[in-house]
Structure 1
């Protein structure tokens, strides 16, 4: 069973809590009630410590009312702030301990800032500070300076709320980007699987069909003089093709299960591929190093091109394959002199070849030749490197 590791340390838990959307809390009412109780108790402790301006019974009631309003802060932040201001304004006018309501007021201001826009936070902050300055100025000019001093705490709560809101928005955006990137990679992986299965099955099924037709022709053409050896050879070749397809399919599935690029066919498999399709092959890589991804792309492009040629070029057509390295580019050319009908297929094969070429930063062109037949040309970039044993093959 898989386990997802969550935040372990206090710092990580605090960071996760700050970046979590308030609406995602499992028990929002319980959390807000606990916060209201904490802010109320802290404010009461501050007010009680001020022996010169300790609140009277009405002051304590107003302080308790402001703290109680915080229970609904998540659902109605602006209404809660209005109630808090309505309770704190007479509390301050009655000349109670001025710093007592500060935790409650800061919590309400922070909630407005973290749940709304910057414009709303700035407007609310200006109004609340203005109301506080105006109200306290009735108690004497020296009280206004106290309000200016405590207003800094309110502004700090607003700034913190706005900053945290922006941080949460940034985290949410990054998560959305990561989700889109994951979806893009999954889509690319599905396309890659489709290409691999198409290349594998289309090539193998085409060869099986051709060889089955040969066997059927031998059986029906001269039934009196049955060439048992030819029939046996055709059936053996069909069995060999089935075994090869099964082995390659197993390899492909192993790579997919491992979620990594495992062993894929490269240029060394081209001679056997060309021999099976009865094509003329020339491979000349010189001293260039062919990366595995480029080699696999070239192999698949040649394989698909030969499959199309077998299907559409006609039985008497000649197919030529040339793979050579020219100026740090691997050029793959597959031509036939048949009917040129490869372009008339479903198109998925040519689309897949184009995707394979683009996957390694290359290009591909495919279409009928002016002199007849069909041609596929791919240019796949590679890095040149001297090699003690360059590959030179002519078949």
Structure 2
């Protein structure tokens, strides 16, 4: 059974935290300043009276002496409102008291409190000027009383300097604590902003991946479904069962491919083990080797696609660059199938160009149609993908008709002996890619 005193530790810690909070906070911003200062003034007056009575010579003060002694503590009730003015109000009272009375130690409590308040609430220059002024007044009073009382002069001067240095030291300590807390709060805000930025980037990346995946598959399914519906409704008496079966088979294949890619994406997101906003999760990324599959899907939807990957150095492509190129081609083909019209000719060119990988997709159709009510995110997503690799992308109608998407993605320098104009290993390793004329 734990000892009865075990729960006292949290309470002691709480009390210590409260004491530190009181010590560290700015006295000018503390709550209940007027009430606390009034209590401080009353306590200083009581302590001064106790010091006077403890000497045994309190009877020599008289009514005027007691009035000066206790009245000099009254301004302390407003010490934090205007510390310097309160000091100026107290100096004449204390000067008259010391000039007419012999109990010089009695008014020390209010004297040290007001000097400490001036030092702890003001700049060092103000504290220095106040110290010089108070010391001058004190020297004048002491020398007027006794020109030979050097020890008393040194004692009082030492106390004045000690109290002022204590106030300056506390002020510097509080400034240091405030700066540490401010830096900690700033660092915490920075961490929160960074976490929010990473979460936003991760959400954008997931949305972009899902858009690229689903938009393409749904577009192909929609086109093939329209073909099957057309065959079934235009001339039911001459039903082309083979064409309907081919269209349905294409729909089924597209659904299986989309489901497999979506499952892979979800597995990567679930199994990455990284918090949202981190680097892109490692996993299988699509690359240029999968372009022929995109071409076949677009052709199944009715487009005529020409693919040219001559000179692409597949071994030099970073995974992110290859994935970006694949997604740009995928989205461009999706837009062409959706907007360019039936039988549109589409040309896909992927080739190195001046230290970069050029990705160009052009069609001779009417181009994307903006209805003004539901703008898509395809072109925006392609630009974001290009920027994520350090590249650029432009998209817009062609002067002679049709639409063009052109991207430049960064490409590492070619190793010695490998010329950019020589046939790349990609074209040799993927014979299904159809070469076209070298000029775009």
Q: TM-score, normalised by structure 1?
A: 0.70
**Aligned CA distance change for structure 1 residues 377 and 282 (closer, same or farther; 3 Å):** closer
Give the aligned partner of residue 127 of structure 2: 121
Deviation track 1:27-49 (CA, whole Å, cap 9, x = no partner) reads 21222122222222222222222
- Where does residue 374 of structure 1 map in the other structure? 408
Gaps of 5+ in 2: 1-9, 232-239, 295-311, 337-345, 364-378, 394-405, 414-428, 431-440
Does 1:62 pair with 2:68?
yes
SS of residue in 2 equivalent to 1:255: coil
Equivalents in 2 of 1:251, 1:56: separation in Å?
89
Q: Which of residues 154, 169, 178 is equivalent to 1:172?
A: 178
Alignment check: 8 A CA contact 2:48 2:70 kept: no
Q: Does 1:338 align with 2:366?
A: no
**Conserved 8 A contact 1:365-1:378:** no
- Which one of the candidate residues 136, 145, 148 is aligned to 1:142? 148
Residue in structure 2 matching 1:201, options 187, 207, 226 = 207
Q: Secondary structure at the match of 1:173?
A: helix
The answer to whether the aligner puts 1:233 opposite 2:265 as a matched pair is no
Residue of structure 1 in register with 2:284 after alignment: 270
* Equivalent in the alignment of 2:47: 42
Cα drift, residue 216 of structure 1: 2.1
* 1:93 alignment partner, one of 83, 99, 112: 99
Change (3 A) 1:24 1:373: closer
Gap change, CA 1:234 and 1:179, over 3 Å in 2: same
Distance 2:200 2:169 in 1: 46
Q: Secondary structure at the match of 2:188?
A: helix
User: Shift of the alpha carbon at 1:139?
Assistant: 1.1
**Change beyond 3 A, Cα 1:46–1:275:** farther
Following TM superposition, by how much is the alpha carbon of 1:111 offset from its aligned partner in structure 2, in angstroms? 0.7
Per-residue deviation, residues 188-246 of structure 1 (Å, max 9, x unmatched) = 22221122112111012111111112212322345342232221222344445555556
Q: d(CA) in 2 for partners of 1:378 and 1:169? A: 52
User: 2:190 aligned with 1:190, yes or no?
Assistant: no
The answer as to whether partners of 1:99 and 1:150 remain within 8 angstroms in 2 is no
Give the equivalent residue in structure 2 for 1:20. Answer: 25
**Aligned residues, how many?**
334
Matched residue SS, 2:103: coil
Q: Distance in 1 between matches of 2:101 and 2:36?
A: 32
Matched with 1:289 is none
| C-alpha contact 2:287 2:325 (8 A) present in aligned 1 | no
Using the TM superposition, give the Cα deviation of residue 15 of structure 1 relative to its aligned residue in structure 2, in angstroms: 3.6
Q: CA deviation at 1:299?
A: 6.7
After TM superposition, give the deviation of residue 105 of structure 1 in Å.
0.7
Secondary structure class of the residue paired with 2:145: coil
SS of 1:338 mapped into structure 2? strand
1:29 aligns with 2:34: yes
- Preserved contact between residue 33 and residue 70 of structure 1 (Cα < 8 Å): yes
Alpha-carbon distance in structure 2 between the residues aligned to 1:91 and 1:204 = 87
RMSD (Å), alpha carbons: 4.0
Q: 1:210 aligns to what?
A: 216
Structure ID, larger Rg: 2
Alignment of 1:304-323 (within 5 A): 304=324, 306-312=326-332, 317=348
TM-score w.r.t. the length of structure 2 is 0.63
Q: Tell which deviates more after alignment, 234-243 or 175-184.
A: 234-243
* Range with bigger deviation, 28-37 or 203-212: 28-37
Kept in 1: contact 2:329–2:361 (CA 8 A): no
Unpaired segments ≥5 residues, structure 1: 285-297, 321-332, 354-363, 380-393
Q: Distance in 2 between matches of 1:18 and 1:220?
A: 78
* CA spacing shift, 1:265–1:108, aligned 2, 3 Å: same
What secondary structure does 2:284 align onto? helix
Superposed displacement of residue 119, structure 1: 0.9
1:220 aligns with 2:231: no
CA 1:365–1:82: 2 relative to 1, 3 Å: same
User: Is contact 1:319–1:337 with CA below 8 Å preserved after alignment?
Assistant: yes
**Using a 3 Å threshold, how does the CA distance of structure 1 residues 219 and 27 change in structure 2: closer, same or farther?**
same
Please name the residue that 1:330 is paired with.
none
Secondary structure of 1:106's partner? helix
